Chains A and B, each alone.
Chain A
Amino acid sequence: MAMVGDAISHAVLPGIVIAFLVTGSRESVPMLIGAGTLGLLTTFLIEFFHRYARVQSDAAIGVTFTWLFAIGIILLSVFAGQVDLDQDCVLYGEIAYVPLDIWLTDSGYNFGPRTIWTLSVVALLITAFIFVGYKELFLTAFDPGYAAAIGLSTTAWYYALMGAVSLTTVASFESVGAILVVAFLVAPPATAYLLTDDFRQMLLLSVGLGILASVAGYYLAVWLDGSIAGAIATVTGLEFMLALFFSPSRGLLLRRKQVQPVQL
């Protein structure tokens, strides 16, 4: 499941290229639509290969995203002359350029960096989605069989969640690159999982750890005079390693004695 984000972040490439070829511009909205469509197609294909072709889910993920990404690369190289996109930019992104991409209205009013606006809207949408569907998402993630028995549509919630992952991935990676997106999708929740046993706390802690990694990573990059995205991803990894060794409940070094179940 954690790798679905990785798959989406790579597989959206053909969507972006096609959106660019159709509209001829690098406007955010067509790009988001193109990439979002491919993101959903990716989750659909993975589910299809897994469920109907009986391929293991990791193999289904591997096949789907490498294939779609390869198509994207071919499209990119064939139309390279006409497309103002390059593979490095798509894969690695560059946070340092975010302040340079300014949203200017026709009358010349300066709204500041464009991605801040798109990502704020996406953040609001995702927060609203989690708020509205919290108990349904919680239940379908834990026990889909029971959820279906009491009348929840597990398929609909699965695709809603995957749609949210898709949207987040697509909106983020044009500014920060695919690798940092994957680092943020997986590392902070995995770290939070080691630190708490409560689902709500885990969600909040993931967000906190993500913010901490961004700030710390930025200053690390300034200090090292290196890649910002690389430094941030490194900090998410460091957080995970620290939690792995020093978590009070699950840490390898400080693990408390497990509470033994009491026999009734």
Chain B
Amino acid sequence: MILHVENPVVEVHDLTVSYDRKPVLWGVDLTLPAGSLVGVIGPNGAGKSTLIKAVMDLLSAGSGYVRIFGKPIEEVRNRISYVPQRESVDWDFPASVFDVVLMGRYGKLGLFSRPRKADKDAAMEALEKVNMQAFAKRQISQLSGGQQQRVFLARALAQNADIYFMDEPFAGVDIATETAIIELLRTMREQGKTVVVVHHDLQSAAEYFDWVVLLNMRLVASGPTEKVLTQELLEHTYGGRLTVLTKVGDLLRKQQFPAREKK
């Protein structure tokens, strides 16, 4: 179940990535449509983060190639933004919220130039979009997990890119932040941006995304959400674990097996 689209924003051909000669991604071949919210879903160790890192050329691929907007990545770097996993940085680093968001403008600035007023305005605007403007001068060490995630998101927004890769933006955030983030992602989609999100919660996946990539070291499926999030493909992705659960579920339903012992 791997569907391809015409004029894709992301085009991955036969991508294989290895760590220490141990392949973690095998022959991934997919295309993603423009202006969509894409969820990359799979069990732990399936290579979800590896896939987006390899697409952005942060990891070197053993084989295959990637085209973004039909061009090699080096030609379109300024149109790409990245929200890394929150745990990947040291939040005790001496920086303020505004300092971090302003980093989103660095890519457009040359080596010698300093952030100008336009850059500072863009950073402040991005902070307002995630509802964190009151925290601009706050030290990043004093933020909660959800606030850290919003700051990372604001940094990506300040960049004003065309395609965004986000690594587990919903991991460990509160419901309010999760709702705020998904609203923001939908607004971005309406503006024609493409957002690729690594996600691990199957429950919300069907609601959040309009295109889903199922991954477990190999590409299991890639296509519109309603066609991809099926029992069969999910079982295929998650191996035996889901199967056991569904079997228990079926048994309960068919035999009216008491879920808890009745007194």
A263 touches B144 (CB 8 A): yes
Contact in complex: B90, A142 (CB < 8 Å): yes
CB-based contact A151/B78 at 8 Å:
yes
Q: Is the CB of B94 within 8 A of A196?
A: yes
Q: What is the size, in residues, of chain A's interface with B at 8 Å between Cβ atoms?
A: 28
A259 touching B142, Cβ below 8 Å: yes
Any chain B CB within 8 A of the CB of A133? yes
| Contact residue among B90, B107, B144, B146 (Cβ-Cβ distance under 8 Å from A151) | B107
**Complex interface: chain A residues within 8 A of B56 (CB):** 148-149
On whether the beta carbons of B176 and A143 are closer than 8 Å, the reply is: no
Q: What string of 1s and 0s marks CB contacts (under 8 Å) between B7-31 and chain A?
A: 0000000000000100000000000
Interface flags, A135-154, vs B, CB<8A=1, else 0: 11011011101101111100
Q: Is the CB of A199 within 8 A of B58?
A: no
CB distance from A54 to the nearest CB of B (A): 8
Closest Cβ of chain A to B39, distance in Å, is 20
Selected contact of A197 from candidates B53, B80, B139, CB within 8 Å: B139
Total CB contacts across the A-B interface at under 8 A: 92
Stretch at the interface among B98-106, B204-212, B231-239: B98-106
Cβ of B117 within 8 Å of any chain A Cβ, yes or no, is: no
The answer, among B84, B88, B106, B142, for a CB contact under 8 Å with A258, is B142
Contact check, B143 vs A199: say whether CB atoms are below 8 A apart. no
CB-CB under 8 A from A173, the residues of chain B are none
A108 beta carbon closer than 8 Å to chain B: no
| A132 neighbours in B (Cβ, 8 Å) | 111-112
A168 smallest CB distance to B (angstroms) = 21
Residues of A within 8 A of B81 (CB): 149-150
Question: Which of chain A's residues 146-178 have a Cβ closer than 8 Å to chain B?
Answer: 146, 148-152
| A78 within 8 A of partner (CB) | no
Give which listed residue, B53, B100, B111, B159, contacts A150 with CB less than 8 A: B159
Known: A151-B77, A263-B174. A136 touches B111 (CB 8 A): yes
> With A143-B89, A197-B96 as given contacts, are A135 and B106 in contact (CB-CB < 8 Å)?
yes
Cα A54 to Cα B19 with chains together (Å): 12
Asked whether A139 lies within 8 Å of B58 as measured between CB atoms, the reply is no
**Is A261 an interface residue, CB under 8 A from the partner?**
yes
State whether A261 touches B143 (Cβ < 8 A). yes
CB neighbours (8 Å) of A193 from chain B are: 94
| Minimum CB distance partner of A196 in chain B | B94
- Which B64-121 residues sit within 8 Å CB-CB of chain A? 74, 77-78, 80-82, 84, 88-90, 93-96, 99-100, 103, 106-107, 109, 111-112, 114-115
Q: List 14 interface pairs A-B (beta carbons < 8 Å), by A numbering.
A: A139-B106, A141-B93, A142-B90, A143-B103, A146-B103, A149-B80, A149-B82, A152-B107, A259-B138, A259-B142, A263-B144, A263-B174, A264-B131, A264-B147
Chain B residues engaging chain A, CB cutoff 8 angstroms: 20, 53, 56, 58, 74, 77-78, 80-82, 84, 88-90, 93-96, 99-100, 103, 106-107, 109, 111-112, 114-115, 131-132, 138-139, 141-144, 146-147, 155, 159, 165, 174, 176-177, 180
Task: Contacts A136-B111, A197-B96, A264-B146 known; list 15 others, CB within 8 Å.
Answer: A132-B111, A133-B111, A135-B109, A136-B106, A142-B95, A142-B100, A145-B89, A149-B165, A150-B106, A151-B77, A197-B141, A261-B142, A264-B132, A264-B176, A264-B177
Q: Residues of A at under 8 Å CB distance from B?
A: 54, 132-133, 135-136, 138-139, 141-143, 145-146, 148-152, 193, 196-199, 202, 258-259, 261, 263-264
